[in-house]
Amino acid sequence: MKEPAGRVHSVETMGGRDGPGLRCVFFMAGCNFRCSFCQNPDTWSIRGSQSITLEEARERLIPLLPYLRSRGGVTASGGEPCLQSEFVVGLFKAAHELGLSTAIDTNGSCPPSKQERLLEVTDIVLLDIKACEDGLHRRITGKPLGPVLAFGKRAAEVPDRLTLRRVVLPGINDSADELEGLAEYALKLGFTPDIELIAYHRLGAHKWKELGMRYPLANLKPPTAAHMRKVAERLRKHGLTVAGD
């Protein structure tokens, strides 16, 4: 059988934020969401991406082992890595053979038929839930919320596997109702995940322009540190563990 090849936007050998320890992050090309705040719109399309075989991916990990082995590992991000779940499964198997942990940074749109195989080899799921109300989710991402929540539920079946992420867009997805909704969802899961807040920033805005697109959030200001603390406190009131403020 032919090995699956992946379409990769870029490989960042030193990720310090996407899972524990130092991580080699594969930014997979192609995304099914069109988030208005996206910081990497250049990863939406597979145009301009490089093709990489599993063997090549493994070759790239080996020189990094002394850095990654103690606590870190491999993260598949993107783009949306679940769209290339076969490649990611292969990558994660190779990572495990090398003694590395595996993490996926996803919007949750993994087709149900592929979920089991993917989750089997995934140590950490970083699930970014952009909104907890379907209408808002559709407005921000262009896609329905249901499958995202269903994927999270499945990921939470194994203790400590799931972390929920929320990019805080001031005045958009940080209302009292929204945060209530997120907390309620987290607490209902089989295993209560930690929540990681990420402050919206504009460092990716120039990429929209370079791609000839209008940046939809041109007037949105990044949240202040105080605002982030307030959001975190709100979630902590529910007994959740929250990082990122």
Pick the binder of another protein from 14, 187, 211, 213 (CB under 8 A): 14
The label of the residue with tokens 């070759």 reads 59
Give the range of 12-20, 97-105, 110-118, 119-127 binding another protein by CB under 8 A.
12-20
Q: Which residues contact 69 (CB under 8 A, 6 or more apart)?
A: 98, 99, 100
Using an 8 Å Cβ cutoff, are 15 and 21 in contact? Answer: no
Rg (CA), the chain: 17
Pick the binder of another protein from 4, 147, 170, 204 (CB under 8 A): 204
Q: How far is the CB of 50 from another protein (least distance, A)?
A: 11
Pick the closer one to another protein by CB: 73 or 90: 73
Pick the binder of another protein from 51, 55, 56, 63 (CB under 8 A): 63
Give the separation between CA 157 and CA 139, rounded to whole angstroms.
29
Per-residue contact flags (x/-) with another protein for residues 73 to 102, judged by CB under 8 A? ------------------------------
Q: How far is the CB of 157 from another protein (least distance, A)?
A: 26
Which residues in the 16-35 window bind another protein by CB under 8 A? 16-17, 20-22, 24-25
Would you count residue 244 as binding another protein (CB under 8 A)? yes
The label of the residue with tokens 């975190």 reads 232
Give the separation between CA 41 and CA 38, rounded to whole angstroms.
6
Tell me the backbone φ, ψ of residue 86, rounded to 5 degrees: -65, -45
Give the separation between CA 88 and CA 26, rounded to whole angstroms.
9
Q: List residues bridging with 120 in a β-sheet.
A: none
Pick the closer one to another protein by CB: 13 or 115: 13
By CB under 8 A, name the binding residues for another protein.
10-17, 20-22, 24-25, 39-40, 63-64, 66-68, 70-72, 196, 203-204, 243-244
